[in-house]
Amino acid sequence: MTKFIFVTGGVVSSIGKGIVAAGLGRLLKSRDYSVSILKLDPYINVDPGTLSPFQHGEVFVTQDGAETDLDLGHYERFTDTHMSRLNSVTTGSIYQAVLNRERRGDYQGCTVQVIPHITTEIKERIHRVAKNTNPDVVITEIGGTVGDIESLPFLEAIRQFRKDVGRGNVLYMHVTLVPWIASAGEMKTKPTQHSVKELRSIGIQPDILICRCDRPLQPGIKEKLSEFCDVPVESVIPAPDAKSIYEAPLLLEKEGLANQVLSLLHLEHRSPELSQWQILVDSLYHPTHRVEIAIIGKYVRLSDAYLSVMEALRHAGISMKCDVNIRWVNSEDLEACEDPATYLEGIQGAIVPGGFGTRGIDGKIKAVQYIREQGIPFLGLCLGMQCAVIEWARNQAGLSNAHSAEFNAETEHAVINLLPEQQDVVDLGGTMRLGLYPSRLLPNTLVYELYQQKEVVYERHRHRYEFNNAYRNLFVESGYRISGTSPDGRLVEAIELPSHPFFIATQFHPEFESRPSMPHPLFQGLIQSAIARGGQSSSATSATEPSLETTSESLQSTSPLHSTLEVS
Cβ neighbours, 10 Å, residue 86: 19
Q: Which residue stretch of 154-162, 271-279, 457-465, 517-525 sits at the interface with ligand GLN (rule: CB under 6 A)?
A: 457-465
C-beta of residue 143 within 8 angstroms of C-beta of residue 69 = yes
State how far the Cα of 436 lies from the Cα of 65, in Å rounded to an integer: 7
Q: Does 467 bind ligand GLN (CB under 6 A)?
A: no
How many of the chain's residues bind ligand GLN (CB under 6 A)? 11
Pick 42 or 354: Cβ nearer ligand GLN = 354
Pick 356 or 502: Cβ nearer ligand GLN = 356
Task: Kindly state the smallest distance separating residue 462's Cβ from ligand GLN, in Å.
Answer: 4
- Give the start-end residues of each E strand in 219-282: 236-240
Which residue is catalytic, options 315, 509, 520, 562? 509
Task: Kindly state the smallest distance separating residue 382's Cβ from ligand GLN, in Å.
Answer: 3
Position among 23, 57, 206, 355 found at the interface with ligand GLN (CB under 6 A):
355
Pick 355 or 435: Cβ nearer ligand GLN = 355
Q: Does 200 bind ligand GLN (CB under 6 A)?
A: no
Pick 160 or 422: Cβ nearer ligand GLN = 422
Q: Does 29 bind ligand GLN (CB under 6 A)?
A: no
Q: Does 4 bind ligand GLN (CB under 6 A)?
A: no
State how far the Cα of 42 lies from the Cα of 92, in Å rounded to an integer: 8
Which residue is catalytic, options 382, 387, 413, 520? 382
Q: Which residue stretch of 26-34, 68-76, 462-470, 549-557 sits at the interface with ligand GLN (rule: CB under 6 A)?
A: 462-470
Q: Does 222 bind ligand GLN (CB under 6 A)?
A: no
- Give the start-end residues of each E strand in 405-519: 413-418, 433-441, 456-463, 465-467, 481-485, 492-496, 503-506
Closest CA to 304 of 56, 523, 69: 56
Pick 80 or 362: Cβ nearer ligand GLN = 362
Q: Which residue stretch of 155-163, 238-246, 380-388, 476-484 sits at the interface with ligand GLN (rule: CB under 6 A)?
A: 380-388
Task: Kindly state the smallest distance separating residue 551's Cβ from ligand GLN, in Å.
Answer: 29
Pick 255 or 406: Cβ nearer ligand GLN = 406
Task: Kindly state the smallest distance separating residue 425's Cβ from ligand GLN, in Å.
Answer: 11
Task: Kindly state the smallest distance separating residue 381's Cβ from ligand GLN, in Å.
Answer: 7
Pick 341 or 428: Cβ nearer ligand GLN = 428
Task: Kindly state the smallest distance separating residue 393's Cβ from ligand GLN, in Å.
Answer: 16
State how far the Cα of 331 lies from the Cα of 513, in Å rounded to an integer: 26
Q: Does 508 bind ligand GLN (CB under 6 A)?
A: no
Q: Does 382 bind ligand GLN (CB under 6 A)?
A: yes
Pick 356 or 448: Cβ nearer ligand GLN = 356
CA 22 vs CA 71, 130, 138, 304, 314: distances in Å = 8, 17, 11, 17, 17
CA 20 vs CA 178, 240, 257, 480: distances in Å = 15, 12, 10, 45
State how far the Cα of 532 lies from the Cα of 547, in Å rounded to an integer: 9
Cβ neighbours, 10 Å, residue 218: 14
Based on the residue annotation, tell me whether 509 is a catalytic residue of this protein: yes
Q: Does 492 bind ligand GLN (CB under 6 A)?
A: no
Position among 299, 356, 467, 471 found at the interface with ligand GLN (CB under 6 A):
356
Q: Does 407 bind ligand GLN (CB under 6 A)?
A: no
| φ/ψ (deg, to 5) at 546 | -70, 145
| φ/ψ (deg, to 5) at 384 | -60, -40
The amino acid sitting at 193 is Q
Position among 159, 462, 481, 562 found at the interface with ligand GLN (CB under 6 A):
462
C-beta of residue 16 within 8 angstroms of C-beta of residue 214 = no
C-beta of residue 325 within 8 angstroms of C-beta of residue 527 = no
Q: Does 383 bind ligand GLN (CB under 6 A)?
A: yes
C-beta of residue 260 within 8 angstroms of C-beta of residue 172 = no
Cβ neighbours, 10 Å, residue 328: 16
Based on the residue annotation, tell me whether 511 is a catalytic residue of this protein: yes
Q: Which residue stretch of 33-41, 328-336, 352-360, 539-547 sits at the interface with ligand GLN (rule: CB under 6 A)?
A: 352-360
State how far the Cα of 517 lies from the Cα of 278, in Å rounded to an integer: 11
Which residue is catalytic, options 511, 513, 520, 562? 511
Q: Does 430 bind ligand GLN (CB under 6 A)?
A: no
Q: Does 354 bind ligand GLN (CB under 6 A)?
A: yes
Q: Does 51 bind ligand GLN (CB under 6 A)?
A: no
The amino acid sitting at 375 is G
Based on the residue annotation, tell me whether 338 is a catalytic residue of this protein: no
Residues in the chain: 568
CA 161 vs CA 4, 150, 204: distances in Å = 9, 19, 11
Q: Does 465 bind ligand GLN (CB under 6 A)?
A: yes
> Parallel, antiparallel, or unpaired: how do β-strands 481-485 and 492-496 relate?
antiparallel
- Alpha-helical regions (H) of 134-244: 152-165, 190-201, 221-229
> Parallel, antiparallel, or unpaired: how do β-strands 60-61 and 67-68 relate?
antiparallel
State how far the Cα of 213 lies from the Cα of 178, in Å rounded to an integer: 5
Q: Does 464 bind ligand GLN (CB under 6 A)?
A: yes
Task: Kindly state the smallest distance separating residue 465's Cβ from ligand GLN, in Å.
Answer: 3
State how far the Cα of 568 lies from the Cα of 552, in Å rounded to an integer: 28
The residue with its CB nearest to ligand GLN is: 354
Question: Which sign, positive or negative, has the C-alpha torsion 467, 472, 476, 477?
Answer: negative
Pick 249 or 355: Cβ nearer ligand GLN = 355
Q: Does 484 bind ligand GLN (CB under 6 A)?
A: no
- Catalytic residue annotation: 382, 509, 511
Q: Give me the residues that bind ligand GLN (CB under 6 A), please.
A: 354-356, 382-383, 386, 406, 462-465
